[in-house]
Structures are given as C-alpha cells and as structure tokens.
Amino acid sequence: MTAPRLEIHLDRIGQNAALLVERLGGRGIQITGVTKATLGSPEVARVLLEAGVARLGESRIDNIEALRRAGITAEITLIRSPMLSQVARVVASADVSLNTEMVVIEGLSRVAAEQGRSHGVVLMVELGDLREGIMPDDVDAVARHVAELPNIVLRGIGTNLACHSGIAPDAQNMAELSALAISLEARLGTTFDIVSGGNSANLNWALGDEGVGRINDLRLGESILLGREPLDRRTVDGLRTDGFTLVAEVIESKVKPTRPWGEVHQNAFGAVASPHDLGDAPRAILAVGRQDLDPAGLVPPEGVEILGSSSDHLIVTAAACPAVGREMAFRVDGYGALLAAMTSPFVSRSYQR
Ligand SMILES: *Cc1c(COP(=O)(O)O)cnc(C)c1O
C-alpha cells in the first residue's frame, strides 16, 4: 500500500447518511447528498444513494461528468452557479443547477433546446450571508421570467447561509424562505418540488423543536462525511466522525532536544518557534505535509502529538520512538484537510467497506 493514503470508510459514511435521511425524513426534508469534498467520488456517491438521499449535489461540472462516466444515473444538481462558458456541459450532465443570473439561465434554456433536453433550475435567494443569491425583492420577477423559458423547469428556490459571513440559519430566515416559496407558488400556480434551506449548518435548525415550514430539502456534505455541523463544529448526535483516516509513513525517528538552538527567526510558514525546553524527547517525521493536506485538521492517535508541519513533513512526538517505515493513522477531522487530501495528487485512496 502506498502512503500517504486516505482510507475512506464507506460503511461509516453510509451510516451517517442513512441516519440523517431518517431523521430529516421525519420532518419532511429530503437530502441532496453533496460529494464536492470527495472530488466527486463515485464510491461515496453510490453509498449516499444507497442510504436514501434524493439526489446528488456537486459544485464542479468536471466532477459531475466523472460521476456520469462512472455510471451514476441518479439526479445530480450542480450546486455552484454555472459558468456562462459551461452551460452546454451543465445541461448535458447535470439535471438541475442552482442559479442567480438571468443571462446564465437563458443560456441554459438555449442549449437545452439545442440538445433536446430539459434542465431544472433552483433560484437561490440572498438571505444575509452575502455569497450567492438574488435579493428577495427581485425573486418574483426572475421566477416569472424563468417559468416561461423553453426547456427549463423551475424546480424551486433555495438559499445558502453560513459559508461566507457565518450567518446562521434560524427560525427567521428559514420562515422568510418558506413564505417566499409559498407566495411564488401561489402567483405562478405551481408547486415547487425543491425548497432547499441550506447546508450542514442548517441541521441544528432542522432537527430543532420548531416546524420547518415549506422547506423540504437540505444539501448536506460535511455532516454526512465528518459527522459534524459546521456552525460550532459539534458532533451531530449519533453520527460517526471517523469516516476518513489519513495514513502516513515514518521517515525519521530519534530522541532529540525539545528546544531548538541557534538564532531564532521565522520558519518556512512565517511562525516563530516557542523556546520551551522539556529536555530530550522522542520525535518522528512522517512523509506527509501541506502539499497533501491541512495538518490542522488531523487528529493524531492516542499518545502522539503533532508538533508542526511543512510542505512535505509532519513532525510528531510520542512516548517512544516509532520505527522508521511504520505507518501511523490520523483521523481526518477538518473539512479543509479532507478537501485538500481528496484533491492532492500525492494522496492515494483506499476504500473500506
Ligand atoms: C458546499 C455546499 C453545500 C454543502 O455544504 P456542507 O457544509 O458540506 O454540508 C451546500 N450547498 C452549497 C451551495 C454548497 O456550496
């Protein structure tokens, strides 16, 4: 087996997805299972579908195309606004896309007609986080226009919070989305099949005591993959946080002083070493670094402490020196670490069932 490698525990990820499908289902909410942190892994996608997610969500058209090539036929939503330059690829591979720009939706309509296909549009509404979204007062006019475009089906509306400004989904902004959906449906004389309240940051709200109104969909990635809600990074009740393990190999292992010597300046990443002297201690270097992932998102095994990292080295201390050539497994706890490890060409993958 090569190292560094990411061990992907499909059984645990599947358990998380199934539990969320069941709990949210009880509240009338279906899940769009988001694969973007896995570089659109078909293995993970299949596990999410088996667990009962309504469809898949992906942020990149390249990943959606890869999922199609791998034989995935389920409905897939492109969850980042399509690039105007990519509308033909979006219509060819994605069933639905989240949109905020009329010119893009017109482009989707034009190429959908050319390709003889129909494309679903969910209009994203700005509710305060200030990333993507149409201002609430403008949604009505856009929706009316979209509803008339050939080869476009207005599937519903949605919003995204807690990503750019850290604005929490709460009773108030979710009620606003609900009310907007209800009034649009009345005015357009239609029923939306997707009213998408947000991402993993919506779980506290969705599983809380209050009603969820007209909201019937959440787009979930991090909570399924890492078992956490991203607002306070708390473990969601009953979910597993050990879906991903990073395995790296020891390339140096020696007892060394704990205090560096010589004149102290900035290190490679601009930090200055703290001059603690705890005597001599075992330390080891693992062949993994910031070119592979974000070491801040790793949890070391019992008895091991991470001292630091550079582009290619992870430095740890332990009770005893681990043998050179031995592998060490770290739990991947951070979304950034997962994203980087899944997209690094240096980290291989090993799927565990
Ligand atoms: C990434 C993303 C999601 C999923 O977010 P998680 O926090 O991983 O659940 C949902 N919607 C949009 C628009 C996204 O970009």
Domain end position, chosen among 209, 235, 261:
235
Our answer to whether residue 36 is catalytic in this structure is yes
CA 76 to ligand 1 center in whole angstroms? 14
pLDDT of residue 202: 98
Decide if 4 is inside a domain: no
Q: What is the mean pLDDT of residues 267-276?
A: 76
* Same structural domain, 144 and 52: yes
Decide if 2 is inside a domain: no
pLDDT of residue 122: 99
User: Ligand 1, residues 219, 224, 226, 343: which to mutate, most atoms within 8 A of Cβ?
Assistant: 219
Q: What is the mean pLDDT of residues 241-266?
A: 94
Where is average pLDDT lowest: 30-39, 134-143, 245-254, 271-280?
Answer: 271-280
* Same structural domain, 16 and 117: yes
* Same structural domain, 254 and 225: no
pLDDT of residue 295: 93
Ligand 1, CB within 6 Å, residue ranges: 34, 36, 59, 79, 160, 199-200, 219-223, 230
pLDDT of residue 160: 98
Domain end position, chosen among 235, 254, 287:
235
Decide if 5 is inside a domain: no
Decide if 127 is inside a domain: yes
Q: What is the mean pLDDT of residues 270-292?
A: 88
* Same structural domain, 162 and 138: yes
Where is average pLDDT lowest: 73-82, 148-157, 272-281?
Answer: 272-281
Write the CB contacts of 261 (distance below 8 Å, at least 6 apart in sequence): none
The four Cα atoms 289, 290, 294, 298 give a dihedral, to 10 degrees, of 10
* Same structural domain, 81 and 120: yes
* Same structural domain, 190 and 291: no
Domain end position, chosen among 235, 252, 276:
235
pLDDT of residue 270: 78
The pLDDT > 70 percentage for the chain reads 99
CATH number of the domain that 293 lies in? 2.40.30
Q: What is the mean pLDDT of residues 316-335?
A: 96
Residue 273 has pLDDT above 80, yes or no: no
* Same structural domain, 224 and 346: no
For the CA of 222, the nearest atom of ligand 1 = 8
* Protein residue whose Cα sits closest to atom 7 of ligand 1: 200
The string of pLDDT tens digits covering residues 23-71 is 999 999 999 999 999 999 999 999 999 999 999 999 999 999 999 999 9
Exactly one of 9, 36, 155, 290 is catalytic; which is it?
Answer: 36
The string of pLDDT tens digits covering residues 323-332 is 999 999 999 9
pLDDT of residue 144: 98
Residue 156's alpha-carbon distances to 20, 225, 251, 290, in angstroms, are 22, 26, 54, 40
Residue 272 has pLDDT above 80, yes or no: no
Going by pLDDT thresholds of 50, 70 and 90, the confidence category of residue 168 is: very high
pLDDT of residue 266: 85
Query: How far, in Å, CA of 268 to CA of 310, rounded?
Result: 7
Place of tokens 């980087």: 340
CA 34 to ligand 1 center in whole angstroms? 7
The pLDDT mean for the chain works out to 96
* Same structural domain, 95 and 188: yes
Residue 162 has pLDDT above 80, yes or no: yes
* Same structural domain, 299 and 334: yes
Decide if 66 is inside a domain: yes
* Same structural domain, 175 and 272: no
pLDDT of residue 275: 66
Q: Which domain holds residue 14?
A: 10-235
Decide if 154 is inside a domain: yes
CA 129 to ligand 1 center in whole angstroms? 13
Number of structural domains (the chain) is 2
The pLDDT > 90 percentage for the chain reads 94
Decide if 306 is inside a domain: yes
Query: How far, in Å, CA of 88 to CA of 167, rounded?
Result: 34
* Same structural domain, 223 and 252: no
For the CA of 223, the nearest atom of ligand 1 = 9
* Same structural domain, 295 and 343: yes
Decide if 14 is inside a domain: yes
CATH number of the domain that 31 lies in? 3.20.20.10
Q: Indicate the angle between helix axes 136-147 and 171-188, nearest 10 degrees.
A: 30
